[in-house]
Amino acid sequence: MNRPINLSKRRIIIASCILLILAAAIIACAVYLGDYYRADIPAIQAFLPQGTQWTEEPDGTIVFSPEDPSPDKGFIFYPGGKVEHTAYLPLMQTLSEQGILCVLVKMPFHLAVFDMAAADGIPEQYPGIENWYIGGHSLGGAMAASYVDTHADRYDGLVLLGAYSTADLSDTDLAVLSVYGSEDAVLNRETYEQCRSNLPKTFYETVIEGGCHAYFGAYGAQAGDGIPTVTWEEQIAYTADAIVYMMEQTP
């Protein structure tokens, strides 16, 4: 005859099961967060002009100051989801060469969703800059759009790279630029089209022929992406030109 398990043993079994589930969840989370796209350092070093300098803050934020000692434009950039932020050094350097102060934010666990308000306080650090823009790549772009939704009075424009805005910005005075590659197979085009109505009617759109999702940075190929017919250096150059043009058109 089987004896019923007493209450204390039952509690021990239940507690053990809960601990095992929690341990498995923690391990799975650690594996997920530890798996990200790393910056291609050799490629970036080959791209950047010799002697390129930037400032790195204690929190990992990287600032590119243009040669112009009194820039009038500042750009805060949120990196793509699960992409090392240093992968965007080439884009930031290219823009700084055009006289734009660029602030590249490092996100917790490489996910902007964990610090959507990372831009807080940055413009105040540079009181001499009158015109501020914010943007990002993929998830970073989406989070930048959500952030500027409640800070539209502080910014002149938004830049979306392979991204869309789920926040309704249609009634704002923001200048908005959307850039994506014709071969981008990561960007959900259906959702992108649905979210068009969230942008001001006069937003700028640039489609880079032959461009892909990953080539806004230097971190190699991205899973599920299309096959590009341009180099990442070319895509960054096209992107920087589009950003500068949009900023120049801002009143």
DSSP-derived secondary structure for 57-107: -TTS-EEE--SSSS-SEEEEEEPPTTB-GGGGHHHHHHHHTTT-EEEEPPP
Asked if residue 170 and residue 78 are part of one domain, the reply reads: yes
Task: Give the span between the Cα atoms of 163 and 187, in whole angstroms.
Answer: 7
Task: Give the span between the Cα atoms of 130 and 161, in whole angstroms.
Answer: 23
CA angle (126 as vertex; 238, 153 as ends), nearest 5: 75
What is the domain count for the chain? 2
pLDDT digits 0-9 by tens, 69-93 = 778 999 999 999 999 999 999 999 9
Asked if residue 239 and residue 128 are part of one domain, the reply reads: yes
Count of residues in the chain: 251
Asked if residue 3 and residue 49 are part of one domain, the reply reads: no
Asked if residue 226 and residue 159 are part of one domain, the reply reads: yes
Q: Would you write out the chain's pLDDT as a tens digit for each of its 251 residues? A: 455 556 566 766 665 666 666 555 554 555 455 569 999 999 999 999 887 889 999 999 999 999 877 789 999 999 999 999 999 999 999 999 999 999 999 999 999 999 999 999 999 999 999 999 999 999 999 999 999 999 999 999 999 999 999 999 999 999 999 999 999 999 999 999 999 999 999 999 999 999 999 999 999 999 999 999 999 999 999 999 999 999 999 87
Asked if residue 42 and residue 21 are part of one domain, the reply reads: no
| Domain boundaries, position 16 | 1-35
Q: What is the dihedral of CA 109, 191, 213, 60, to 10 degrees?
A: -30
Query: Tokens 């899973």 correspond to what residue?
Result: 223
Asked if residue 43 and residue 31 are part of one domain, the reply reads: no
Residue type, 232: W
Asked if residue 22 and residue 144 are part of one domain, the reply reads: no
Q: Which of these, 188, 164, 184, lies nearest to 225 by C-alpha position? A: 184
- Give this prediction's pTM: 0.88
Asked if residue 188 and residue 109 are part of one domain, the reply reads: yes
Asked if residue 237 and residue 120 are part of one domain, the reply reads: yes
Task: Give the span between the Cα atoms of 10 and 115, in whole angstroms.
Answer: 42
Q: Which of these, 131, 69, 129, 65, lies nearest to 92 by C-alpha position? A: 65
Asked if residue 146 and residue 226 are part of one domain, the reply reads: yes
pLDDT digits 0-9 by tens, 130-172 = 999 999 999 999 999 999 999 999 999 999 999 999 999 999 9
Asked if residue 173 and residue 195 are part of one domain, the reply reads: yes
Asked if residue 119 and residue 16 are part of one domain, the reply reads: no
